[in-house]
Each structure stands twice: as C-alpha cells, then as structure tokens.
Amino acid sequence: MDNRGQQDRDKALITNPKQINAADDNVHAIEWEDFENELARLWSLTSALKEANEKKQSLQEKLQSLIQVKTESLNKLNELEEMREKLEAGKLVMANMSARCKVATEDAKKQEEMLSTEVRSLLVAGTSLSGARKRLQEANRLLTEERGHVKLKNVQRKLRARQQYMISQVSLLYPVKILVGPAQEQELESYSGSSRVGNASVSKPANQGSLTILGLNLTMLPFTKISFFTDKKEVQRSASALGYVAHAVSLIASYLRVPLRYSLRLGGSRSYINDHAPSVEPASSDLSSDTAFSANVKQAVFPLFLDGQDTTRAAYAVFLLNKDIEQLLNFIGIKSLGPRHVMANLKELLRSVQSSEYIDT
C-alpha cells in the first residue's frame, strides 16, 4: 500500500464517522508518539511489497519467456521428428529408386545389345537389298529393250515346254481314252471336248462312262443307286479310277504351280479330299464377330470311294475333285465341260496342255 492510498483512507475515515465506528473492531489504536514510527514501518513495508511485486512481475515475465522457449523447443523437436521420419521415408524411396534404376540400366544394356545386333542385321540386309535392287533395275532395263522382251518370251516358252513335257509324262502314266467298243479304245489326241475361254463354240462332251483311265471307267452308279446287290468289283474299280484321277490332278497342279482350292490326300483307291468350308451354318450373331465365325470353320474330309453306305459324302468328294480340275482348266484359259464330267474335264486338261497353242500363249 503506497502513501497516497493511506491518505485517501484517512480522509474517508475523517469525513465518514460511521465508518470509523464500523471499523473500530479492526482498527488498532496507535499512540501519536508512535505514529511516525508506525508510518515509517508501513512505508518500508509498502516499499518492500512494491519491490516484491516488481520481482514477482519480473519472475512471471521470465517464467513466461521460459515457457514460450520450452514450447518453441517442443515444436522444434516435433518438427525435427517429422523431418527425421520424412528423411527415413525419402531414404527408403531412394533405395527403391536405386534398385529400379539398376534393373532399368541392365534392361537398357540388354536392349542396346539387341538393337546393335538388329542394326548390324539391318545393315547386312540393306546391303543385300541394295544389290538386289541394282540387279532388279538391270533386269528391268534389259526387259524394256526389245532384246529383253524376246528373251523373256523365250524363257516363258521354255517353261511352258517343260511343263508340257512333264504333263505329257502324266498322260502316259495315266492315259485317258474313249471306250468305243467292247475292247477298243480311242487315243487322247483324237478327242476334243472343249474350247478356249472367249470362244462361243463348245463341243459336246463324251459320256462319263465312255472314258477310261488306265482301262478303268468311272461310273456314278455306285454313288447314286447303291444297293445290296450292286457289284462290289464295280465299286472298287470306280474307287481306283478316282485314285488315279486324284494323283494325276495333284501332279499337274504341282507342275503348273497352282495351289488347289480343295487339297488332296492321296492313298490310291482310298484317297480323300479336304473341304475348308464352315462345318456349321453361321448365325447372324456369329457374323458380327470374326472370332466366333472362325471357331465354326474347320476342315472337313470326304472320301473318294464308297465308305460303307454313305453315298452322299462320296458324291460330294467327286464334285470337289471336279472343282479342282475346273480350277486348273481356268488357269490355262479353258472352259469347264460341267460339274458332272470329271473324266472329260481331265481329258481336256491333258489335251490342252499338250497342244501347240499352250506354248504360244
């Protein structure tokens, strides 16, 4: 309590006697002689209290400062802990990246080696291609000249002559003749059954049963009117004839370098022909998907002989064989005689290849 506060209190007691009476119980009476001493003591106590308050305030400020420093230190420690965790995570990421980088480097080295090998191969191929291009240009230059065109025609004539000779050997191996009597056969050259494509005159083909191959005639009777009383030897002769025709067609196709649409599986009188048509008629939903459509396509095999009582499959096999002969006829520019003339079409194919017009075309 300072001096001014004491004076205010004294004034209040003088101006308000009731307060003096009310505070009599708490007021300690002091002699006037001791008043100055007591006042000095109170003054010193007031000074000490003020000094203590100032020290207290100073200590509070220091304590507040220390608390703030402690709080900041704790915050710094938390931040350092977070930074340490982030650093550990960064080290782990760096380790993973280092391992991946090592693997990627090894892969890059392998790819570089592969690319260098491919580049070397490309260089070699480029050199070969350059040489082939030069040779092609030289060949084109020679062909554009009159002498080169003549040379090309001569090569083509030689090739056709070679094909004609090889197919003539097939004709000798499997001679197709016209049966004009019980024991008489007419040679191949005396029969002309068709004409070139573009010519309107087409000769009437000979009867299927009047043509023989190696003395065996092909009759469709076993395939259309088979019964229990049918001559089994006749069925066997037809199967053998079809085996001869299939072998002859296969040889001619290889000499002419024509891939047959319906491939043959040769086996003499037990030969087969393959059909790559869809085995099941595809639905409209199948047509929308190529994969679904290709799943329905599979190779079907048909016998070129009477297999038990299944005449339909054998007849279809003969039909496909005739289609192969038609393909070869169309390749050399000859019209087919029809879908039911296997022997006549084969005879016309052999005759046309052995004619002089074949070499000059």
Q: Give pLDDT, residue 26.
A: 60
* Span 330-351, pLDDT tens digits: 999 888 888 778 889 999 999 9
Q: Give pLDDT, residue 85.
A: 92
207 band by pLDDT with thresholds 50, 70 and 90? low
Nearest partner of 40 among 48, 55, 10, 52, judged by Cα? 48
Residue 22 lies in a domain: no
Q: Identify whether residues 123 and 162 lie together within a single domain.
A: no
Residue 307 lies in a domain: yes
Q: Identify whether residues 261 and 328 lie together within a single domain.
A: yes
User: Rounded mean pLDDT of 86-106?
Assistant: 92
Calpha distance 330→19 (Å, rounded):
146
Q: Give pLDDT, residue 185.
A: 45
Calpha distance 189→355 (Å, rounded):
9
pLDDT at 87 over 90: yes
Contact 359, 161 (CB under 8 A): yes
Q: Identify whether residues 174 and 317 lie together within a single domain.
A: yes
Residue 322 lies in a domain: yes
Q: How many CB atoms lie within 10 A of CB 323?
A: 18
Tokens of 185: 């056969």
User: Rounded mean pLDDT of 291-319?
Assistant: 73
Half-sphere exposure of 150 (CA within 13 A, CB side): 3
Residue 52 amino acid letter: A
Q: Give pLDDT, residue 229.
A: 47
* Span 115-157, pLDDT tens digits: 999 999 999 999 999 999 999 888 777 767 666 667 778 888 8
Higher pLDDT residue, 242 or 280? 242
Dihedral sign of CA atoms 115, 117, 121, 124 in order: positive
Q: Give pLDDT, residue 6.
A: 55
Q: Identify whether residues 124 and 234 lie together within a single domain.
A: no
Full domain range(s) for residue 240: 149-179+209-279+298-359
Residue with tokens 């308050």: 53
Residue 172 lies in a domain: yes
User: Rounded mean pLDDT of 185-213?
Assistant: 50
Could you tell me what percent of the chain has a pLDDT over 70? 70
Q: Give pLDDT, residue 276.
A: 80
Q: Identify whether residues 236 and 326 lie together within a single domain.
A: yes
Q: Give pLDDT, residue 25.
A: 57
Q: Give pLDDT, residue 222.
A: 45
* Span 250-304, pLDDT tens digits: 999 999 999 999 999 999 889 999 988 654 444 444 444 444 444 455 678 888 8
Q: Which of 28-37, 59-68, 211-220 has the lowest mean pLDDT?
A: 28-37
Q: Phi/psi class of residue 268: alpha, beta or left (left: φ > 0; alpha: ψ in -120 to 50)? A: left
Q: Identify whether residues 236 and 171 lie together within a single domain.
A: yes
3-state secondary structure 21-88: HHCCCCCCCCCHHHHHHHHHHHHHHHHHHHHHHHHHHHHHHHHHHHHHHHHHHHHHHHHHHHHHHHHH
Q: Identify whether residues 120 and 213 lie together within a single domain.
A: no
Q: Which of 42-56, 89-103, 213-227, 239-253 has the lowest mean pLDDT?
A: 213-227
Q: Identify whether residues 353 and 246 lie together within a single domain.
A: yes
Contact 199, 160 (CB under 8 A): no
Backbone angles phi, psi at 332, to 5 degrees: -95, 5
Is the pTM value of this prediction over 0.75?
no
Number of domains in the chain: 2
Indicate the average pLDDT of the chain: 77
Q: Identify whether residues 174 and 100 lie together within a single domain.
A: no
Residue 45 lies in a domain: no
Could you tell me what percent of the chain has a pLDDT over 90? 32
Residue 336 lies in a domain: yes
Give the helix ranges, DSSP H, for the chain: 3-15, 17-22, 32-144, 146-173, 221-224, 232-256, 284-287, 290-295, 311-331, 342-353, 356-360
Tokens of 315: 């007849």
Higher pLDDT residue, 342 or 1? 342
* Span 37-57, pLDDT tens digits: 888 888 888 888 998 999 999
Strand, coil or helix: 281: coil
Tokens of 92: 């782990």
Strand, coil or helix: 194: coil
Q: Identify whether residues 117 and 243 lie together within a single domain.
A: no
Q: Identify whether residues 313 and 168 lie together within a single domain.
A: yes
